Amino acid sequence: MKKGITFLFTMSIIIVFLNLHACKSETKTYSSDEGTVTVDRAGEEADITIKTKEGETFSMTVKKGELPKGWPSEIPVLPGGNIVFSQSAEKGNMLQVGIETKKSVADSLEFYKRTLTSRGWNVENEMSMPKMQMLNVKKDDSVAMLQIVEDGSKTHIQIILSNESS
């Protein structure tokens, strides 16, 4: 069952990225053996409903240019960064932000490590690869995963925030 949810979730994100730049409004439904994904798009915002073949339903909203509702102020957008997408999922209390910047991977990582630890977040894990850094932090029952990737002259930062008990 988790494989189906992961597949549908991944499929929905790909669909939204491919379609979000258009300004027109439309609703489309995509189907697979795992279930359906319905995308209701209006400009740079999309409401997504995922229905698994087992009958579970998950809803999320994806936006460009703003933080999702409920995003904690203690996890700021990197100064000079632009929000290229944000999303909130109804089930699981999951929030996600994609940020694009011209700062380096190292500078971006340093900013988030310094900022988050000064605000009470504990670094749980850190992983380094060429052109990519990952950082997992925890505070109380909230966990955040940061992935910072170099892409040519830009750096992409993805932050996923969830509640550990969800």
> What is the predicted pLDDT for the residue at 136?
95
pLDDT bucket at 6, cuts 50 / 70 / 90: low
SS (H, E, C) the chain: CHHHHHHHHHHHHHHHHHHCCCCCEEEEEEEECCEEEEEEEECCEEEEEEEECCCCEEEEEEECCCCCCCCCCCCCCCCCCEEEEEEEECCCCEEEEEEEECCCHHHHHHHHHHHHHHCCCEEEEEEEECCEEEEEEEECCEEEEEEEEEECCEEEEEEEEEECCC
On whether the CB atoms of residues 48 and 12 are closer than 8 A, the answer is yes
Q: How far apart are CA 33 and CA 19, in angstroms?
A: 22
Worst-scoring range by mean pLDDT, 6-15, 74-83, 105-114?
Answer: 6-15
pLDDT(16) > 80 = no
Mean pLDDT (the chain, rounded): 82
What gap in Å lies between CA 135 and CA 123, rounded to an integer?
7
Residues with Cβ within 8 Å of residue 132, at least 6 apart in sequence: 105, 147, 148, 149, 150
User: How does pLDDT run across 18-67, given as a tens digit for each residue?
Assistant: 444 445 678 888 888 888 888 887 777 777 778 888 888 777 777 778 88
pLDDT of residue 12: 53
> Is residue 131 predicted with pLDDT exceeding 60?
yes
Which of 86, 47, 52, 48 lies closest to 70, judged by CA? 86
- Structural domains present in the chain: 1-59 (no CATH), 65-166 (3.40.1000.10)
Q: Could you tell me the pLDDT band of residue 92, with boundaries at 50, 70 and 90? A: low
Q: Among residues of the chain, what percentage have pLDDT more than 70? A: 82
Q: How far apart are CA 35 and CA 45, in angstroms?
A: 23
Backbone angles phi, psi at 64, to 5 degrees: -115, 135
Mean pLDDT of 85-93: 72
